Amino acid sequence: TCIGDYSLKINSGVLALYYNGDEENACPYPSPQFEISNKGKAYYIKGKMFSYSQPGEWLPLKRITLK
């Protein structure tokens, strides 16, 4: 689901990803599908598609460097 084109918007330092298709038929998650924010060198993400988090909860992102 949610396969297709997206647009990005920045509002108050938060990067938001918006699905450009017909959400009712193609994407069960409301726009924005997720948001990314940073505090210092740390980055956080939130969105309704992350079922293991509380609504509105910012989850820390971990940087992975491939060797």
Domain residue ranges in the chain: 6-60
Judge whether residue 61 has pLDDT over 60: yes
Using one digit for the tens of pLDDT, what is the confidence trace for 6-48? Answer: 899 999 999 999 988 765 567 888 888 889 999 998 999 998 8
Q: How far apart are CA 43 and CA 32, in angstroms?
A: 17
Burial class (CB in 10 A: 0-12, 13-18, 19+), 29: middle
Q: What integer pLDDT is reported at residue 17 of this predicted model?
A: 93
Under 8 Å between Cβ of 29 and 47: yes
Q: Is the peptide bond before 32 cis (omega within 30 degrees of 0)?
A: yes
